[in-house]
Amino acid sequence: MPNHALRPSRRAVLTTATLAAGTAVLVTGCDDDPGDSGTGRTPPGGKDGTPEPAPPSKDPAAVAALTTAATQVEQIALRYSAVGQAFPALRTQLASGVKSRAAHLAKLKEIGGSEPPQPGKLPALPKTAVAALNDLAVREQKLSVAHATAATKVSGEAARLLAMLAAAESQLALTLGRKKTAT
């Protein structure tokens, strides 16, 4: 019997590799407490029955990943502000991104338990509104990849938060990239 009949097809190998990678990503983020429902929400326990916020992470890898993410989110939030000031006609278009970034930064500080270092000097803005939107879209997409990658290296609440950031950034990138009619 020839040996070539026992070799899997290229498609089978790629499918298996993709499924294995996806499973590894899913398993990496699944280090919940046994009493946790898996929803990411703390059960009622406050004085008035409201959920108590999760305590800041003590895992050094998670704290480092969340601090890095907070610095990156603060930098892009400043970028949104600069674009809005340079191109006032874009402010309405940028409003959801500005609001999302503020909420993301607050959550990163809460879960990470630390203030991010001050971001460095921002690169110069593009000369046109369309180029500025495209620049923001590219930056959001790059952050999406960075935060998705970081989410695979930590677990629990930190992994969920980083994955949520990645999803939000991907969506913002698509939204910003689509609206090219501004002047």
Does residue 149 lie in a domain region?
Answer: yes
Does residue 15 lie in a domain region?
Answer: no
CATH number at residue 111: 1.20.1260
Look at residue 114 and tell me whether its pLDDT is greater than 50: yes
Does residue 41 lie in a domain region?
Answer: no
Does residue 2 lie in a domain region?
Answer: no
pLDDT for residue 131: 95
Does residue 122 lie in a domain region?
Answer: yes
pLDDT for residue 85: 95
User: Which of 84-93, 109-118, 137-146 comes out lowest in average pLDDT?
Assistant: 109-118
Residue 170 CB neighbours (<10 A): 17
What confidence tier does 7 reach under pLDDT thresholds 50, 70, 90? Answer: low
Look at residue 34 and tell me whether its pLDDT is greater than 50: no
The predicted-structure confidence for 129-175, as pLDDT tens digits, reads as follows 999 999 999 999 999 999 999 999 999 999 999 999 999 999 999 99
Per the structure, the count of domains in the chain is 1
Does residue 46 lie in a domain region?
Answer: no
Give the structural domain span for 88: 60-183
Q: What is the pTM of this model?
A: 0.66
Residue 45 CB neighbours (<10 A): 9
